[in-house]
Amino acid sequence: MAKPLNIGMIGYGFMGRAHSNAYNRVSDFFDLEYTPVLKAACARNKEAVQAFADNWGYESIETDWKALVDRDDIDAIDVCVPNNLHKEIALYAAERGKMILCEKPIAMDVAEGEEMCEAVEKAGVANTVWYNYRRVPAVTMARQLIDEGRLGRVFHYRANFLQDWTIAEDLPQGGAALWRLDAAAAGSGVTGDLLAHCIDTALWLNGSIADVNAMTETFIKERVHQETGEKQQVTIDDACTFLCHFENGSLGLFESTRYARGHKALYTLEINGENASIRWDLHDLHRLEYFDYKDEGKLRGWRSIHVTDHGGEHPYMDHWWVPGLQIGYEHSFVHHVADFLDSLAKGEPCPPTFRDALETQKVCDAVLASAKERAWQNI
Ligand SMILES: NC(=O)c1ccc[n+]([C@@H]2O[C@H](COP(=O)([O-])OP(=O)(O)OC[C@H]3O[C@@H](n4cnc5c(N)ncnc54)[C@H](O)[C@@H]3O)[C@@H](O)[C@H]2O)c1
């Protein structure tokens, strides 16, 4: 019989649903020492959070997140609220000895992130940040190929995260569903929202970034704020492009925007090494493209590997269906929960920890500072 881990969920939006699905599914597919129990869900609107709790199987609800954290029957707090609330909740939860699974970006800026790291380390509580793309099997396999030394010296790392949902001038900013456009709630625009994912994966696959040179743009300068009805200046970055040097000597090129007409959520990455290259595309997330210069000349070309094999060949896939049947976006969260529960059983950290996620935040802050000052920034 698995030991229960009682979850207190804060927020019932996009991530509240993605994580609830993961908690519900994980024990059906992974044999682990711990099993999550959906103890309580919290949000401010009682009817809405009750409907969410009923739908996903939470035993109870709270409308004040402090009341949720204070409960003795909650072991772990899951922070699925806008970025400006992450720090306050994490500090409060750490002080009360709760484990914390926090959404990304870890915080509004590095100063907040530092406080959060100190709090969880002082309290000695398990912590992790939901940079879920690491746990898409094809991306995990990219890391395995790199660790096996197949690429040789790395020359280039490039990543894009392109969307097109904020092009309309009459789209309001702020409040429910649109807090991402309000710097007071989000901290930044595409840098913290989208590039943070690209940066986390890059640091994981290719090591530390030494310095950055960025440009940002806010294409629509004023929008009506949903909560006040007033037209206000837009202070988030709508688009951001940056160059960087990695510590391993390779060059990085990153681009993100919400103004790339035709792209819904195109996250792509490519790594070019002296012996081989790797390419991945979120729209085809179960495939890893791989080019190996050692292949026989006349057959040499990009392979498209369907990352669904069993027998330990393809990460995580032994837990799912049969080879050839792919899994999707939501499974990256199931894998994160499985790894978190496994790390608890082993008494090990579950990466990315708050401290790991702080490294991504440092790059995000340096990118924004570089764009503002029009100058290279060291990390
Ligand atoms: N890992 C990923 O791929 C990924 C994807 C989307 C969002 N995120 C992150 O997840 C977090 C939440 O984003 P989302 O897309 O789920 O947002 P969302 O707008 O869909 O949901 C936010 C939730 O927070 C709740 N909330 C707001 N203020 C609250 C308060 N004071 N007390 C209790 N609940 C409150 C809202 O009611 C809502 O349920 C953000 O930090 C975001 O950056 C991560």
192 lines ligand 1 (CB under 6 A): no
CA atoms within 13 A on the CB side of 62: 21
Using DSSP's 3-state secondary structure scheme, residue 176 falls into coil
User: Tokens for 312?
Assistant: 């330990």
Type of residue numbered 25: R
**Atom nearest to 179 CA in ligand 1:** 19
- Round to whole Å and give the CA distance between 158 and 150: 18
299 Cα–ligand 1 center, Å = 48
Q: Do the beta carbons of residue 370 and residue 61 sit within 8 Å?
A: no
Report the predicted TM-score, pTM, of the whole model to 2 decimal places: 0.98
Taking the centre of ligand 1 as the mean of its atom positions, its distance from the CA of residue 361, in whole angstroms, is 18
Q: Determine how many CB atoms are found less than 10 A away from the CB of residue 24.
A: 15
**Is 123 in contact with 76 (CB distance < 8 Å)?**
no
Whether pLDDT at 177 is above 90: no
Quick one: pLDDT at residue 120?
98
Enter the tokens of residue 302. 């990009």
**C-alpha distances in angstroms, 278 versus 137, 206, 223?**
14, 12, 40
For residue 240, report the phi and psi dihedrals to the nearest 5 degrees.
-150, 130
Pairing of strands 99-102, 127-129: parallel
pLDDT, one tens digit per residue, over 118-166 is: 999 999 999 999 999 999 999 999 999 999 999 999 999 999 999 999 9
Return d(Cα 212, Cα 275) in angstroms, integer: 26
Distance 339 CA to ligand 1 centre (A): 22
Judge if the beta carbon of residue 14 lies within 6 A of ligand 1: yes
Q: Is 11 in the pocket of ligand 1 (CB under 6 A)?
A: yes
Kindly report, residue by residue over 21-44, the tens digit of the pLDDT: 999 999 999 999 999 999 999 999
Contact 119, 95 (CB under 8 A): yes
Provide the pLDDT for residue 178.
95
Does ligand 1 have an atom closer than 6 angstroms to the CB of 83? yes
Average confidence score pLDDT of the chain:
97
Residues 6+ apart with CB under 8 A from 144: 315
pLDDT band at 1 (very low <50, low <70, confident <90, very high): confident
What is the mean pLDDT of the segment spanning 177-191?
A: 96
- Atom 23 of ligand 1: nearest residue by CA position: 11
Is the pLDDT at 19 greater than 90? The verdict is yes
Crossing angle for the helix pair 137-147 and 196-206, to the nearest 10 degrees? 30
**How would you class 297 by CB atoms within 10 Å of its CB: exposed for 0-12, middle for 13-18, buried for 19 or more?**
exposed
Based on DSSP, count helices (H) and strands (E) in the chain, helices before strands.
11, 17
pLDDT, tens only, 200-224: 999 999 999 999 999 999 999 999 9
CA distances from 115 to 124, 275, 301 (A): 14, 42, 48
Is residue 371 within 8 Å of 214, Cβ to Cβ?
yes
The verdict on the CB of residue 10 being under 6 Å from ligand 1 is yes
Q: Are strands 266-273 and 154-162 parallel, antiparallel or unpaired?
A: antiparallel
Residue-wise pLDDT for 71-116, tens only, equals 999 999 999 999 999 999 999 999 999 999 999 999 999 999 999 9
Section 290-302 average pLDDT: 97
Beta bridge partners of 281: 268
Domains of the chain: 3-132 (3.40.50.720), 133-328+335-341+348-378 (3.30.360.10)
Percent of the chain residues topping a pLDDT of 70: 100
- Interatomic CA distance for residues 107 and 140, integer angstroms: 25
Contacts of 102 (CB under 8 A, 6+ apart): 78, 79, 86, 90, 116, 127, 128, 129, 130, 354, 357
Does the structure show a pLDDT above 90 at 282?
A: yes
